[in-house]
Amino acid sequence: MVNTKVNLCGIEIDNPVIPASGTFGFGYEFAEIYDINILGTFSFKGTTKQERFGNPTPRIAECTAGMINSIGLQNPGIDAVIKEELPKLKSCFHKPVMANVSGFSLEEYAYVCAALDKEPQIGWIEVNISCPNVTKGGMDFGTSEEAAASVTKAVKKATTKPVIIKLSPNVTNIASIASACEAAGADGISLINTLLGMRIDLRTKKPVIANKMGGFSGRAIFPVALRMVYQVKKAVKIPIVGMGGISSARDVIEMMLAGACAVQIGAENLINPFACKEIIESLPDEMNKWGIKDISEIVGGAH
């Protein structure tokens, strides 16, 4: 018998597998096809203060071993999430859930986190800092140590929940930004968010995505994500949630050896809605194959 339980920022979860924000909605849609309580937890759809329609269409493009999206944080807004989405989720998911938060100013991040702080079902707050800072000319909060630290400090003041900062890979030194977040009080780091990519339609000779560029995700980015998790593990002592191209139980183990204590599955959910369930079910056999009795003991084992 193997042990798949891990501790994520002080909360024990049954296994390290977590569907990533934006690929699992608010969970209850997937609950119609399988019991989502098999999951360690999941990160629900990125939530902002106000309702957002998102970016213009088309905003999805296929590519080799992956996809590009430019959804634009489409969501119903924090009030609707608390009043409508969380009660529906509570009926089918009986574990703490991870809330993914986005914002366009420090005040907006803090407002949304303060609102979620009152919700007992929220276990962790995952803060997406790949959003443009409207007071700094649209530069992403996650592209500088100073900006990343400022968001971390703002949300830590607004909530008592564990705060996990989600980092963008579109930077020169992701380890230094992770270190700045840790110094500012972050309880954990999740990485990587999507890479920046594009496709061009040969018939129209124009970009496929209306916004021209979007977030590149899928199996193709796994080696990049693995490398960045490895680098950040060397730089911080707080827990890391690794993501980017994970599609199998073997990938889960590899990512944890690089330094992740839990992992998120993103684009694979859009290819196969049973992906997380199948990975969780195959994890014990994969652990036995490699002589692993307790999965938490392999975290950072490649260092």
Q: Are 40 and 18 in contact (CB under 8 A)?
A: yes
Q: Please indicate whether residue 9 is annotated as part of the active site.
A: no
Burial of 300 (0-12, 13-18, 19+ CB in 10 A): middle
Q: Are 165 and 188 in contact (CB under 8 A)?
A: yes
Alpha carbons 175 and 177: distance in angstroms, whole number: 5
Q: Of residues 63, 92, 113, 131, which has the active-site annotation?
A: 131
Strand, coil or helix: 93: coil
Q: Is the dihedral of CA 266, 269, 271, 275 positive or negative?
A: positive
* Pairing verdict, β 195-197 and 214-217: antiparallel
Alpha carbons 282 and 288: distance in angstroms, whole number: 10
Tokens of residue 63, six digits: 């590519």
Burial of 95 (0-12, 13-18, 19+ CB in 10 A): middle
Q: Is the dihedral of CA 84, 106, 56, 18 positive or negative?
A: negative
Asked if omega into 58 is within 30° of 0 (cis), the reply is yes
The catalytic residue positions are 131
